[in-house]
Amino acid sequence: VQLQQWGAGLLKPSETLSLTCAVYGGSFTDYYWSWIRQPPGGGLEWIGEINHRGSTNYNPSLKSRVTISLDTSKNQFSLQLTSVTAADTAVYYCARSTVTIPWGNWGQGTLVTVSS
Amino acid sequence: DIVMTQSPDSLAVSLGERATINCKSSQSVLFSSNNKNYLGWYQQKTGQPPKLLIYWASTRDSGVPDRFSGSGSGTDFTLTISSLQAEDVAIYYCQQFYSTPFTFGPGTRVDIK
């Protein structure tokens, strides 16, 4: 399976971050689809996940601003993060896991920079 | 949230020597229903996404060399590289997938001495 992601790389404060991840070579069933981010030179932060039924879990630290959605007809899932600030500057990754096995497949990463 | 800590922050090991990284979780990540520790280890090289090395604390992911091994249970875990190779230079992260929000350790940088 391959995950390929895309989206805008430069945003202004208060704008909405929008990223999409396409899944090639695998189905959506029986997997969880996550977004994870990493600020420059920093550690990894799990943003949230969605399963094939559309059920979501979000990190409480971001929950008020995050929406993860699914388009099974296109084998894609998406991330929206509203009201971004400079603190949201990071490389954003999409990734696949199962209920019991963590993220064995990752997208290539997208650097999103928030700057006025 | 389960807080993950790692030690050391960084280490330098000679080629062919052993590297050991420790990870501690603020609460147990042992799932009693299947007796599995929901603890993973990742390797991240510069400019690349993390790569899953080990899950369930000690199960190597497909294709991972057997010089990488994981051990531990409950709250204390260890990643061992038995014979360090040049391509093992990276940052290593532990991560719990026992409960949301899933959390990572701060990482341990491994270099060649």
Q: Does B106 lie at the interface with A, CB-CB under 8 angstroms?
A: yes
* pLDDT tens-digit readout, A9-29: 999 999 999 999 999 987 788
Q: Does a cis peptide bond (omega within 30 degrees of 0) precede residue B101?
A: yes
Q: Please, what's the b/e burial string for B12-29 (b: 16 or more CB within 10 A of its CB; e: otherwise)?
A: ebeeeeebebbbbbeebb
Average pLDDT over residues A74-78: 94
Which of B38, B77, B97 has the most A C-beta neighbours within 10 Å, making it the best mutation to test the interface with A?
B97
What three-state secondary structure class fits A12? coil
Give the chain A residue nearest B35 (alpha carbons). Answer: A100
For residue B81, the Cα-to-chain-centroid distance in whole angstroms is 10
Q: Does B82 lie at the interface with A, CB-CB under 8 angstroms?
A: no
Q: With an 8 Å Cβ cutoff, are A102 and B97 in contact?
A: yes
Per-residue pLDDT at A86 exceeds 90: yes
Cα separation, A45 vs A66, in Å, equals: 14
Which of B23, B52, B96 has the most A C-beta neighbours within 10 Å, making it the best mutation to test the interface with A?
B52
Enter the tokens of residue B106. Answer: 């701060």
Q: With an 8 Å Cβ cutoff, are B49 and A61 in contact?
A: no
Q: With an 8 Å Cβ cutoff, are A102 and B52 in contact?
A: yes
Q: Does B98 lie at the interface with A, CB-CB under 8 angstroms?
A: no
Cα separation, A31 vs A50, in Å, equals: 9
* pLDDT tens-digit readout, B44-99: 999 999 999 999 999 999 999 999 999 999 999 999 999 999 999 999 999 999 99
A68: confidence class by pLDDT, cuts 50, 70, 90 = very high
Per-residue pLDDT at A30 exceeds 90: no
